Each structure stands twice: as C-alpha cells, then as structure tokens.
Amino acid sequence: MTEPGSDTRSGNATGPSGSPGWGAGGQPGVPGPMQQLARSAWQAVALIGLAAIVLGVVALVWPHATLAVLGVLFGIYLLVSGIMQLAAAFGTHTETSLRVLAFISGAISIMLGLFCFRGALESVLLLAIFIGISWIFRGVSVLAAAASDPLMPARGWHIFSGIVGVVAGIVVLAEPESSIWVLTLFAGIWLIVTGLAEIATALMIRSEAKKLPRSY
C-alpha cells in the first residue's frame, strides 16, 4: 500500500501536484545540479557587474588617483615580467640568440618598471605610450588578417576596427598626457555600462533558473 504523495515506480518523492523534487511532508527537496549551477552562475555574473560599476564610478570620481594606482600596477607588472624573462634567459636550454633576446627584453622591462616608481607622471606617460603602441600593433595585425582572408566573417568591420585602432594609437602617442585622461573617463563610462549589462544578464539567468524543476 502506497502513501499519498509518493511514486512507487521511481522511488522519488512527489509534491501535491505530482511534480518531482519534494520531500516528506510536502517540503521542497534539494535543488538539482542544473539549478545549483544556474544559481551560482547568476550570482557570479552579478558580482562581476557590481565590481565593474564600482570601478567605473571610482575612475570617474577620482581619475587622478585611478591613474596613479594604474601606474603603480603597471610598474609592478613590468618588474615581474622582466624578472621572469631574465629567469627564462638563464634557466632554459634554448638557443643562444633567444636567450640574449630574453635577457635584453627582461632588462629593459625591469628598467621601465623602476622608472614607473619615480613618480605618478612618469608611470602615466609610460602607460599611455604602451597603450598607444599596443593599439597600433593590434590594428595593423587586424588589418593584415582581414586583408589576407577575403572569406573572414564581418571582414568590413574588422578592417574598420583595425583602422580605428591604428589612428587611436597614433593619437595617444602624439598626445600621451592628455589622451590618458580621456581614456580614463571613457574607461569609467565603459565599465559602468558593462556592469549594468552584466547585472541585467544575471537577472535574466536568475529568472530562467526559477523555471527549472527542482530535480534538474
């Protein structure tokens, strides 16, 4: 003889409407793995969005302090990168030419990293120059890839983005001090917009997760 609210064929407890995932006494059971994954996913996305908004507000409200912190972090990055390249130059069994290049690159990186700690202005200018050069190289590489592959998806957009990257890099190199302040403001706005989009995505994930049966 079976008890009310139970399913003898599957051995799983069922709720008042016969839906799975209910325990004894009509209480909800443990959420299934898909529901737990969805719950963790929306919380992680929401935290990322909130962090982006906070960073964006900080960049807009305190741009000078933001650039100072970025300059210090950039200097630390150059120091760590240089030390690792020196270690690779002395600790690997590669060709002599590659080891010499790694040594020179590491030494330059360390010197530039130490240069960043001389003052906030030096680190900001070096960061702007680094950004300008990287944008030019990325723009040229995107243009070369788009020009060499006629079948590339959205080829026109890639060519356009490559041209914009090259022009933006040249502008930053021409006026590094003023450009870096404008980039900070744009970065703050971009972080806030991105954060709002991430939070909206998290709420959508949460809404969809509620539609999953608790046994899933």
Q: Are 87 and 81 in contact (CB under 8 A)?
A: no
Q: Are 106 and 89 in contact (CB under 8 A)?
A: yes
Q: Is 22 helix (H, G, I), strand (E, B) or coil?
A: strand
Q: What pLDDT does residue 103 have?
A: 84
Give the pair of three-digit tokens for residue 185: 């403001």
Strand partners, 20: 14
Q: What pLDDT does residue 16 have?
A: 47
Residues of the chain short of pLDDT 50, as ranges, are: 1-3, 5-30
Amino acid at 102: A
Q: How far is CA 216 from the centre of its chain?
A: 30
Q: What pLDDT does residue 87 have?
A: 82
- What is this structure's pTM? 0.55
> What would the pLDDT profile of 24-60 be if each residue is shown by its tens digit?
444 444 455 555 665 667 788 888 889 889 888 988 8
How many CB atoms lie under 10 A from the CB of residue 45? 20
Q: What pLDDT does residue 214 have?
A: 58
Residue 23: how many CA atoms within 13 Å on its side-chain side?
5
Q: Are 116 and 70 in contact (CB under 8 A)?
A: no
Helix ranges (H only) for the chain are 33-61, 63-91, 96-116, 120-148, 155-174, 176-210
**DSSP string of 127-146, one letter each residue:** HHHHHHHHHHHHHHHHHHHH
Q: What pLDDT does residue 36 have?
A: 61
Amino acid at 83: I
